[in-house]
Structure 1
Amino acid sequence: MEKNTITIIGFPYGNIGSLVNMFKHLKVNCVVESDPKSIAKATRIVLPGVGAFDQGMQCLNSVSGLIDVLNKKALVEKIPILGVCLGMQMLTDGSDEGSIPGLGWIKGKASRFPEMRDLKIPHMGWNISTPTQNHSLFKDISIDPKYYFVHSYMVQATNPVNVLMKANYGVEFDSAIGSENICGVQFHPEKSHKYGKQILKNFSEM
Structure 2
Amino acid sequence: MADPIQLERRGLLYVLSSPSGAGKSTIARKLLAADPEISLSVSATTRPIREGETDGAHYHFVDNAEFDRMVEQGAFLEWAHVFDRRYGTLKAEVNKALDVGRDVLLDIDWQGTQQLKQVDPDIVRVFILPPSMEELERRLRGRGTDSDEVIAGRMERAAAEISHWAEYDYVLVNDDAEKCAARAKAILEAERLRRNRRTGLVDFVRGLTG
TM bin, normalised by shorter chain, reads 0.3 to 0.5
Higher helix share: 2
Q: Which has the higher contact order (CA 8 A, sep 6+)?
A: 2
Higher strand share: 1
